[in-house]
Each structure stands twice: as C-alpha cells, then as structure tokens.
Structure 1
Amino acid sequence: MPPPPPSAPASHHLRLWWRRRGRAGAVGATFAVALLATALLLALSSYASIVFPASSGRRGPALVGLTLVRRASEKGALCLDGSAPGYHLQGGSGSGSRSWLIHLEGGGWCRNLKSCASRQRSMLGSSRYMEGQVEFTGILSDDKSQNPDFYNWNKVKIRYCDGASFSGDVKDELQNGTRFFFRGQRIWEAVMNELVVKGLRNAKQAFLTGCSAGGLATYIHCDSFRALLPKDSRVKCLADGGFFLDVEDISGRRTMHSFYSDIVRLQGLRERFSHCNSNMDAGQCFFPREVVKHIVNPVFVLNPAYDAWQVQHALAPEASDPQHSWLDCRLDISKCSPKQLGILQGFRKELHDAISEAKQKRGWGFYINSCFVHCQSLNSLTWHSPTSPRVNNKSIAEAVGDWFFDRREVKEIDCEYPCNPTCHNLVFARPFKI
C-alpha cells in the first residue's frame, strides 16, 4: 500500500485556495496561495504566506537566516544524508528578551530506505537543499498586530531533516550498503544545547511548538524541553495539527498504523520510547494518543476536526479508493456527499475520543475547530487576522495566548461541519500526488 506522503520532487506544484464558507469566491480571489517545492513540507506541514492585496498596508514578514549546528559530525547530529542540521533564530527585544518560542518544523516521515533516500535529495533530509532565509509568519511573526503575545520573543524555527519527528538514534550508518543517518534525537539535543548557550537557559518563559510531524515531535519532547529550563520559569507546549489518529480507512485497512509501524522499526524507536511497553505493537507507540498519556508538562492541542492531511492520507487515501468516488470530497469538503460527511463526522468523533484522556490533564488547553485545514499556527490569516477562524469568538492566537498566560481556561471544541462560517477551508485544485 502506498504510504502517506514522504516528500515530492521540488518541481511538483500544488495549488491551494482558502475558502470561507458562504463567501468562497471573494476570499478565494483575495487570498490565493501557491505552495511550491516539497509538497508535504509546504502544503501539509505549514502554509506559505498569504498574498495580501497591495493596498492592505501590511508589511512583509521578517526573513531569518539559517544557522547550521556547529561540529555536527562530532556530535553525530546529522540529517539523513549526513549534512549538518540547521535552525533559524530571530532575537527577542524589550519585554520579550528573556522569552523563547521554539518551533519544530514538520514534513511527514519516511518509512523505508527508498523513501528516505528520496528525502536525502530534498530539504527534508539535507541542509544542502534548505533555503538560506525563511519568512517568519503566524506564531513566529514579529508584527504585534499579527502575533500580539509573542511578537518580540526570541523565536527559533528548527528545520526537520531526520524523517522520524526528531526521535531516532541509530548508530549504524550503513543500511543495505548505503549511508543513512537516523539521528533525530541527536539533532534535537544538539540544537537545544546551542540555544541553551545563546540564552535559553535564562528564559523566564518558554514555549515549544510544532506543526504536523513537528507537532508529534512536540508531544514527544515536551517534558525534556521543560527539563532544560529554570524551575521557576513558565514552560508550555503547543502541538499544531499533530494529533494523528489510528483509524481504519474507507477500505477497512489501518493505513497510518502500518506506516507508523515501519517508521518505528526502521529507526529503532521502540527502544527510544519509555511508554512503548511489551503489550503494544510497534506502530501504536508513535501515535499521540499513547504519547500524551505520559506527558507531565502542560500542552495545548490545536487541531482541526477535519484535518485535510489525515482525510487525504489516513481516512481516504487514494489506494483505498480505486473507483475515485472520494476524489471530489478529498479535494473540497463542500463537495462531500451526505454519506461521506457522515464518515467525516465519525472521524471527528474518533478525534474527540482520542483526546478524552488528555482533556482531563490539569492545565492542558484545546482548540478543535470544524475546518478542513491542517496546520494553522504558521499562517497569519489563520493564526490572527480580522478574518481568522474563530470558536466562541476567539481567534487561535487569542485562545493560545489566554491559555499560555493563564488568563482563562481554554477548552474550545467547535460544533460539527458546516456550522462554523469563519473557517477557511482548503480547496485542492487537483489530487495531491505522492
């Protein structure tokens, strides 16, 4: 069975439009988005900047340079191809000079040597292909109007190039005669050590965030992040679009379970996870439902109830739909039939059931909206703008800020689709090819 997407060639072009329910034409014309290069990284782990009209008066997002980890080879902290991993650091100022926001980039996973070899030739497996500068938008923005609570913090985007959510640590480099470096855990440790020296150790408050595969990594590393900081500092975590579900697809197979089992075996993750006991099979260890049971530090779960990536690759993957009866629904939720919508409502219930135990955790927060999107914290339109999605009249940024600073308890659970007219739902122009 084909896997959920590792990465696509850099020449692959995927066009997406935001559609707001009830005024799709206007929003679609105003906020067209072209996402290029590695399709999973850009289309499914984060969104490129929205193109605003020239008359909007908005200034462009900050461009932040790439820093490669020093002496990466000595530390064994290497991308899949053996190159040094990297991160982008923007210094804080004023009241935010001793506050840190760390973001773990997403971009899927590779389940076998073939797919990992493909990633070695992309920014998802090699710093040789990473951009020298990236835009900081959404929760990383330095514009107070777009990011009111975190705009002047020290902000870091850690690039993702290990293929297993910053969690593997395989000593052997040779796999079937080819060199692969499964060193995500060492990358995490090496970057954290550099940031500690650069001021993280003196942080009064710190926030670990991540999107998609980086959201899963946030669950995995939340408690170890807390351990790096002073005991009297405020430290919390945010996982955006990272609560992947162990569900049956429309053909009755467990596509994601099989995929995760391969990752765990390939990168030796069973031995890495203390929560992975002998009663679990390999794939089960990697699902957030199991990981979160053992997290002590407070986490904010930001997820759409109809996650576009999971609908396309876990619930209704192309391999499970040989008659293409789900094609239109996979591209545009507004084109789903009543029967398909019923299945999507069942998927929403699976998410609610999966997070039920986490809901009881003290100090945790939730924002589950009824939108057909994936990651929402890295895009200024969905994070915080006059037209942002809202639940109980709160944008995502407002809800997250309220929770982080203990201004109120935040457990926002939206009603069923299509109840929320503020959603910006993704519309895919053509099938997403793997």
Structure 2
Amino acid sequence: MEIVYNKTEAEERVFVQKLVDTAWPFLNPVVGQVLGRGGQATVYADGHSEALKVIDTSVYRDPARRKDANRRGRSEIYYHQQLTAKTDTVVRLFDTASIPLSRERGQDAPMCFLLRMELLTPLDPKNLVALDPANREKAVLQIMRDVLEGLCQTEDAGIVHRDVKCGNILLRHDPATGQSRFVLSDFGLARPFHTRTDRSFFTVCGSSDHIAPEIIRRGKLIAGRSDLYSAGVMLFHLLFPENDDYFDPVGFRQKSADFPFSPEIKKLLFSLTEVSPASRPSPAVALIEVNRLLMQRDAEYFRCIRQQLLSDLAQSRQPAPELMAAMPESEATHLLRACSAALADNTHQMAEELLRGAAAQNNSGCALYYLAVLFFQNRSCRQKAAELFRLSASRGYLPACSALKGEKIDSASFLSSILLAV
C-alpha cells in the first residue's frame, strides 16, 4: 500500500475504508463521520452503530517516532482488551486489527491499528451549567462514582490510565433497562504500575493540568494515586464547567473561601488533588466517600444500595465491601455489617463486636436480638443467647418475644428477618 503523507480528509476516509474492508471483509462496514481526533488517532462512526478508532503510524516520517507510535498502538490494544474482558466500566472493545502499511519489517515499520468499539455519548461538562449548586453536586458525584469504579478496576489490573479527563469519559445507556453509566475510554497512554517514561511524552496528550505532579517532576507512576489526581482535576472542571482556566491545586486552595458547594465535596476535591501522592486516597477509599455522599443526597440511590446489600445477605453472598463501608452510620448499618461479618467469619467475632456497638449506641432490642441469634447458633452458648433474647424482649422487640416462646431460630431467619429492621 502506497503511503501518502499529509492526506486530505477525503483521501484519509478512502484510505481508512480500504483498511477496514481488508480487516473485516464480511462486515461491510462503512466509515462515517469523524467523531474526534487525538494526538495520533482518529475516531469514526460506522454503519453498524459502532465507533472505529484508527491509529495510523505512517504519519510520522521519523523512524524513532514511528517506533514509539507502534508501541503505543499495540499497548492500547493490549490494555483495552484486558480491561474489556474484566469489567463493564470501560468502553467495550469488539475487535481489533493490525495492518502493515509497507513491506518494511521491524519495530519502526509503518502500521495501522484498528479498534472496533461501542459507540457512546461523550461527557460534556457544559451540560451541567444550568444546574443549581445542589443538583450539580449530585450529578457530579454520580459521574465520579462511575469513574472511580473504573479506576478501581484499572488498579486491580495493575494499570495506570494516565489520561483521565472529561474528554475520555463516555456515557453508556441501555434502552432495555433504562440504566446509564459513565465509562473510561482511550487507553493509548495506559502503562503498568511504576513505569518511568520520558516527561516530554505527556505534552502530546492535551491535558497538561490533569497530569499528577509526581509524573511531571520524576516521571514516576504511583499505582492508582496518579490517576486519582487527574480525576480530582476532572472533578474541578465538572463543578466549574464555566471555568476553562488551568487548574492550580495550590492557587485554588488559597482562593477557595467562596466555594459554592458543600464542605464534603470541597474536602473530596482537596484530597484527590493533594500534591503528594501519599496524601491522596486510593481509588477504593475515594469511591467509598463518593458513595457515602451520594447516599446522603439521593434517597432513591440509598434505597437501591440497601436493597442490593440485603439481597446479597438473603442469598448468603458477601456484600460489596465498598458499598457496605459507605452506608451512613445508623443502627441499620450496624446490623447489615454484622450480618456481612457473620458470613465472612465463622467465629462471628466481628459480627459480635458490631452488634454490641449497635446495642450500646442505640440501646436497641433489635441489635441485642441479632446478637442472641449469633450465640444461638452455638449449642454451648444457648444460655447466653436466652439471656440476650430476654433483654431484647424487655425492650419491646417482638421477634425476641417469639424466640422466648420457643419458636424456631435458625440462620435463615437471621438473614431474612433483617429486612424488618432496615
């Protein structure tokens, strides 16, 4: 295939169409409009409601730059495939193709990498401008929850995304369920943990204020903490979509007296954009905080999470720890955590501690009842269980009264009766 430099848009479309026909001759894909252009790639729509990403390394005449572009293209395919197989928090990758563009051999030979992906809607912070501060904060927390879930998955996979920003967050909507979620895209800069890279490499990504300070200063990636800084800068741009200024963490802290949002969201923003990576939370800890703030602001979300946890318990499944930890502090939360601990620990030591704490904090017959049920499972502790049942009944908790009458108490009733308490 003849390499043409500085192609016009029409020539480029014809060129890509030939590549696509070569890669997938039976799909009859049609290269449509340009959806976006990046440092070394162009994304097109096609006739199958998919997006087609094209990484053409022949645009670089310098063999050294072409070699680096080839490495990035192969790396992007590798990490995207790895994450697509693992989680639904990233854009789904359907298929890929790597096509040589000349007869040359070697790592610097011209190549074209094609990625067929789901076609999704890009996140546009400007859509948040019309919202008042309370509703904007709630909408931003929903976005951050999905982004942090994705970063938890990349961290579990041993990957640093390195280009977390609004332009790389897309919205997936499922018409069948009516549910939507934001997902991560563009893994062209992704690397494994603790990779050292050329600092000048980051100047091509177009998001310099999102780059963590430790990368700029030392060229070092710190597990998920480097991506957390970028997510914090993204949080700032979502909260202030009217502000296109370069984000300066030190300067912002000095001018934050008139911050129009809640103190909790301000604290979250400050923690994510700490200059020292050791002072930032992990993606999992940040996700717990975002879920906690969302449950405080969205009664329907709290109800859904609670039902999800209860459903897991009723089926003797260990609930998601990040959701359990995010539950607001209350007697019901103590009970949920105690049931979860009982499933995870056959000795029930953690469950006992949680239930004792709930009973002491709330003077609750309900918590005492669950504590009695735990002891009832062990024949040698039946006398202690009876004492706790009597104490619970004295505080007016009706299931304890039934237990004292000799009605059956078993693990099933322990897990299912929590529905009455929460």
Is the structural similarity TM-score above 0.5?
A: no
Higher alpha-carbon Rg: 2
The answer to which structure, 1 or 2, has the higher relative contact order (CA under 8 A, 6+ apart) is: 1
Q: TM-score, normalised by structure 2?
A: 0.26
Structure 1-normalised TM-score? 0.25
